[in-house]
Amino acid sequence: MTSGKNLLQIAVLGFLMGMGACGAYAESPSAYSLDAVVVTATRTESTVKNTPASVSVVTAEEIAKRNVRTVTEAIAMLPGVYDARPQGMSDVGNSIQIRGYSEDSILVLYDGMPLNDAYDGGVNWSAVSINDVKKIELVRGAASSLYGGRAVGAVINIESKDPDKDSAKAYMSYGSHSTWKRGAAISQKLTDRLSASFGYENRQTDGYLKKYSYASKGTETSPSGTVGTGAVTTEKYSGSTIYLLGTPGTGASKDNTYNLKLKYKFDENKSLTYRYTHDNFKYYAKDPVSYIRDAEGNPIFEGSVLLPDGKYYNFGESDFTDYYGRRKVDIHALSYKDDDNKIIFNLGVTNVKDNGYSMGSDFAGTGAGTDTRYPNKSYKSDFQKEWDMGRHTLVAGFDIQRDSMDYIKSKLAHWKDKNSVTSETSRMGGKNLTAALFVQDEYKINDQWNVYGGFRFDHYRKYDGYYRDASSSIKQKNENYNELSPKLSFEYKPQNTVSYYISYGHSFNAPTLYEMYRNDPGYGYIANPDLDPETTNTFEIGMKKQIGTKTNLTMSVYHAKTKDMIIAVKRADGKRWYVNQDQARRIGAELDVNHTFGQFFSAYANYSYEQAKDENGDRIYSIPRHIFHSGIQYNREKWNAYLEGQYISGRNEPGNVAHRLYSEDAVFTMNLGVNVQVCKGAVLGLTVNNLLDKEYWAWQKAAGRTYTVSLQYEI
């Protein structure tokens, strides 16, 4: 088998050979426009300017210009978006926020199939190779009238590239922390009607500081083993004193993504497309570090250290180990499109076959440990038809989705070998089924006024919930409920260069299977299958204006009130469970400006303000109050460059200490990128993230300044 090093040498050789055949330079694509066509907001084709919602679009061309590595990086600079993923592509936390809503309240679709997993609503971002993305549409605000549950804060619709065009592409990048991205893609028109594409991408990194190993106090009056020195006295975000022992190492990951796409055209306006995506993602800590030294100055991972409180803390390798995690996802998506009759039918399955982590107490991984895994699966079918009836444009259809998950805890003989199970300690899980009908009517009153009215009826069933361990077996009760989600929007266009809209939307978010069926008494959690959906009413007013030929301006103001929020609370017996108890109110505003300077320069700036409070009127500190993004871009012949900045306000509660372990700091960062087209089809790039080398925490510690060099060749 060819080694990874040899594969890299082959890739480099291929690049050099391709560059030797270079021809003329290619022009850069055009910049942002309010005339971009979108479909997500209304399920019908419309321009951004003529859509009664807050919409942003990211194209493949813009992705290439900014050298982004992931979908989250591609949307991170859009209005209202906060990317709290300091570990970058190694991060598996559900930390993307849009208008203050977390991932389980944001619907993410990839060619019609959900990327939100059936376990806890988190998004499997690693399953999308950014090279496979043709376009990303982000629609902020309530969208349950068309998309049902999860479409509360936003809908992100990711469209993959079409295989119709004959092309071949190879690319690779290398950067700080031994971060690699390598891939290739080819598409071919096999016959007049059949075309195919295949892509492969490998992403891996050694990562950077993941977290600290620390002790809160000494626990023993006598030492055990070698007595060392070197514990660092500091404090957590809460202000409490801790003693740093070292770190479990860096947050490393390896990721391999495969894409296959087949498209058959019955004629110019009718087609059937099948896409298969496979992603195998692994994350783990690498190269642990101990601050504790023996008498000769050597680092030790087993022994004792005398802490300033006068007691010893006895430690071992278990104090420096961390999760050994993995996720394996298969996505099958089948789409039929009939442009003549304006019919779209999507069918598919998202199968998270293996998702979980193991833990143990020795670096080698040969000792005993535990494993937690939560495979889950979503089946989805979606049908819509559009009718043009003079002043009315009607779209209607149905949506059926079934989710299932299991949560299995086991003991392992060797903790880094997930297959070395010696016994299963507990198993739990459940299913849900949603069947929905939706309809929307766009009524053109005259050349200036449009009215959009629609609703969706969802019938939701949760069933087959269970819990089993060595001493008990529980069958959770089944339950059904119905939800009606209406939406009404008015659009006013006094002239072709400006439009105004006002909308009201009711949205809901069903409880996740994890929230309903997690029954884990050993960790202090009890299942609650009686949970009801969260409901949100959102009012929004917006304006979109083209000023001259060089400036686009959009503004929106919104008010969202959520009832029956699901939160974890402590019961009388000391256990915790999820209940419908809290409420939240969000008042926010967004401003987005894009401007072109002359022939070669363009710039953008967007600002988001949000005031989020709970039912007692207290601020919800996990939601940033201020988000500011800005950037300037240069495009001329073979060159393009950008400089962008981002400010995120602090999320620390009163009394918390900034720039400490687990704090949520205010920070301003800048990124710089330069691409040069060395010849037709070949592009060399340099990216510097966190240009000012700012040090900050977003729960975990973020990386300092990082560099990436990239090279791609396309024919």
**pLDDT above 90 covers what percent of the chain?**
77
**pLDDT above 70 covers what percent of the chain?**
95
Give the residue-averaged pLDDT of 92-105: 85
Q: What residue ranges in 413-514 does DSSP mark as E strands?
A: 421-444, 449-469, 473-475, 479-495, 498-509
More confident residue, 139 or 23: 139
Tokens 């055209």 sit at which residue? 265
Q: What is the mean pLDDT of the chain?
A: 91
How is residue 25 written in tokens? Answer: 């330079």
pLDDT of residue 58: 93
Nearest to 418 by CA among 284, 278, 288: 284
pLDDT of residue 292: 96
pLDDT of residue 94: 60
pLDDT of residue 269: 95
pLDDT of residue 89: 74
Contact yes or no for 22/680 (Cβ under 8 A): yes
Q: Of 23-32, 214-223, 232-241, 436-445, which gets the smallest average pLDDT?
A: 23-32
- Identity of residue 147: Y
Q: Specify the DSSP element, H or E, that contains 312.
A: strand 312-315
pLDDT of residue 17: 41
- Identity of residue 679: C
359 has pLDDT over 70: yes
pLDDT of residue 679: 87
Give the residue-averaged pLDDT of 43-47: 90
29 has pLDDT over 50: no
Q: Which CATH superfamily is domain 4-714 in?
A: TonB-dependent receptor, beta-barrel domain (2.40.170.20)
More confident residue, 439 or 477: 439
Give the residue-averaged pLDDT of 383-395: 95
67 has pLDDT over 80: yes
Contact yes or no for 455/486 (Cβ under 8 A): yes
pLDDT of residue 30: 40
Order of all β-strands in the sheet with 54-59? 54-59, 133-140, 154-160, 106-110, 113-114
Contact yes or no for 154/106 (Cβ under 8 A): yes
pLDDT of residue 32: 54
Give the residue-averaged pLDDT of 195-205: 95
Please state the domain extents for the chain: 4-714
* Confidence tier at 21 by pLDDT (50, 70, 90): very low
pLDDT of residue 412: 97
What is the per-residue pLDDT across 435-448, written as a single tens digit (0 to 9) for each?
A: 999 999 999 999 99
Nearest to 117 by CA among 254, 2, 271, 279: 279
- Collapsing DSSP states into helix, strand and coil, what is residue 257? strand
pLDDT of residue 91: 72
Q: Output phi, psi for 220, to 5 deg.
A: -130, 150
pLDDT of residue 262: 97
* Confidence tier at 70 by pLDDT (50, 70, 90): confident
How is residue 302 written in tokens? Answer: 């087993």
Q: Are strands 227-228 and 303-306 parallel, antiparallel or unpaired?
A: parallel
pLDDT of residue 190: 94
pLDDT of residue 284: 94
Interatomic CA distance for residues 583 and 696, integer angstroms: 31
Cα angle 606, 609, 614 (rounded to 5 degrees) comes to 150
481 has pLDDT over 60: yes
Strand partners, 556: 542, 590
**Which ranges of 129-169 does DSSP label H, i.e. alpha helix?**
144-147
What is the per-residue pLDDT across 704-714, written as a single tens digit (0 to 9) for each?
A: 899 999 999 98
- Identity of residue 158: I
Tokens 């240009």 sit at which residue? 691
Half-sphere exposure of residue 446: CA atoms within 13 angstroms, side-chain side? 4
198 has pLDDT over 60: yes
Give the residue-averaged pLDDT of 636-654: 93
Q: Output phi, psi for 446, to 5 deg.
A: -160, -165
What separation in angstroms does the CA of 627 have from each of 70, 313, 459, 649, 678?
21, 42, 37, 7, 36
* Confidence tier at 319 by pLDDT (50, 70, 90): very high
Interatomic CA distance for residues 15 and 678, integer angstroms: 12
* Confidence tier at 66 by pLDDT (50, 70, 90): confident
322 has pLDDT over 60: yes
Q: Are strands 154-160 and 106-110 parallel, antiparallel or unpaired?
A: parallel
pLDDT of residue 101: 92
